[in-house]
Amino acid sequence: MLRTEYMGLELRSPVIVSSGPLTQNIVSLEKCEEAGAGAVVLKSIFEEQIEKDVSSDMEKNEEYLAHSSADEFFAASSRDYYIDRYMKLLTEAKKKLSIPVIASVCAKTMDNWMEYCERFVKCGADGIELDYYPISSDASVSGEEVDRRLIAFAEKARKTIDAPLSIKLGYKYSSLAWVIAELDRIGIDGIVLFNRFFRPDIDIEKIEISSGSPVSSASEYGEALRWIGLMSGEMKRATLCGNTGIHDGETAVKLLLSGAKAVEVCTAVIQQGFPVIGKMNAFIENWMEKHGFSEPGDFIGRLSQEHIDDGWKWERTQFLKTIN
Ligand SMILES: Cc1cc2nc3c(=O)[nH]c(=O)nc-3n(C[C@H](O)[C@H](O)[C@H](O)COP(=O)(O)O)c2cc1C
């Protein structure tokens, strides 16, 4: 029995397929469910993408722009096009899947898009995951201000969205502990630690900027493990979800032991196919049987800082020991 509760939702398995290429069409979504996923997070609708496509639509229709309010018309109709397409996928997913379907918005400002989340909820979304993604490259803004802006963003989302709500975070905040504790305090239901953001690279032959690898390696789970281990015992309402570098059942068990109620996986499914979800479930079940646990709740958080005497180990990597 793999049942767990994450962001107020009952999941049959702690393995969630995270937002990405595997959750952008109904065929893949059905395969996620068939393979044993506990929930799916739909591919995000991007605030930036909407804005970009609005302007390119407007360029294509320049002749109309002489009309007063034409730009407003195109802005509204392009946005509606993407929103409608998203709602169609969501509606179909809700019709065909019995596991929770979480809608996702990749946002960088607090503008108009938040009202759309309410439409997703009316359309049947079981929850909303907000992927907050500002690049804090303004040298005049302090770390404290960056952290506070995230909390202001989450607070506005919490007030606007009357449904289970999670925030998917990057780990570059000046005080992650404060950020996670504040998200819990203001009533966020789930915190995903951590998103793996787009990484730039450089093509030295073309001498231009290119994209780094979008997929993770299996050694990248350490930061999620550390911060979930440090913070899970302090959460009053929010449940934590591990993400990035979780490629197999063994790593999923580690995240659960640190205090995650669920894990989100993307690269593992891209590289190993949908059956990896079932393999992860089977590994967790076999491990539970071997250690005498009857459900994930029996061992989730066993190694969180609050539950062990040597909790300092989460903070200090033992370089000295390794060197010796
Ligand atoms: C091709 C690709 C597209 C992605 N698109 C999104 C997205 O739209 N929204 C989002 O929140 N995360 C997106 N992600 C990030 C994944 O959901 C996930 O957070 C990240 O890949 C780390 O998990 P992993 O190590 O299991 O891959 C994408 C990842 C990949 C590889």
The per-residue DSSP string of 119-142 comes to HHHHTT-SEEEEEE------TTS-
- Residue range 26-42: average pLDDT? 98
* pLDDT score of 278: 98
pTM listed for this prediction: 0.91
Tell the residue nearest (CA) to atom 28 of ligand 1: 20
* pLDDT score of 65: 47
Distance of CA 120 to the CA centre of its chain: 17
Instruction: Tell me the CA–centroid distance for residue 19 and ligand 1, in Å.
Output: 6
What whole-number distance in Å separates Cα of residue 142 and Cα of residue 43? 32
Strand partners, 128: 103, 165
Q: pLDDT by residue (tens digit) across 166-219? A: 999 998 898 999 999 999 999 999 999 999 988 899 999 999 999 999 999 999
Separation of first and last alpha carbons in the chain? 43
Domains of the chain, first to last:
4-323 (3.20.20.70)
Backbone angles phi, psi at 285, to 5 degrees: -65, -45
- Residue range 22-42: average pLDDT? 98
Tell the residue nearest (CA) to atom 2 of ligand 1: 20
Between 101 and 76, residue with greater pLDDT? 101
* pLDDT score of 47: 77
Instruction: Express as a percent the part of the chain with pLDDT over 70.
Output: 86
Summary mean pLDDT of the chain? 89
* pLDDT score of 276: 98
Instruction: Tell me the CA–centroid distance for residue 129 and ligand 1, in Å.
Output: 13
* pLDDT score of 64: 47
* pLDDT score of 133: 73
Instruction: Tell me the CA–centroid distance for residue 107 and ligand 1, in Å.
Output: 14
pLDDT exceeds cutoff 60 at 19:
yes
Confidence band of 136 (pLDDT split at 50, 70, 90): confident
pLDDT exceeds cutoff 90 at 70:
no
CA angle at residue 132 from 257 to 51, to 5 degrees? 150
Instruction: Tell me the CA–centroid distance for residue 18 and ligand 1, in Å.
Output: 7
- Residue range 266-293: average pLDDT? 98
Tell the residue nearest (CA) to atom 29 of ligand 1: 20
* pLDDT score of 317: 58
Q: pLDDT by residue (tens digit) across 232-243? A: 999 999 999 999
Q: pLDDT by residue (tens digit) across 107-126? A: 877 667 788 898 899 999 99
* pLDDT score of 62: 52
pLDDT exceeds cutoff 50 at 293:
yes
Least confident stretch, 50-59, 132-141, 151-160: 50-59
3 Cβ neighbours under 8 A, 6+ residues apart: 10, 11, 12, 13, 295, 296
Tell the residue nearest (CA) to atom 8 of ligand 1: 44
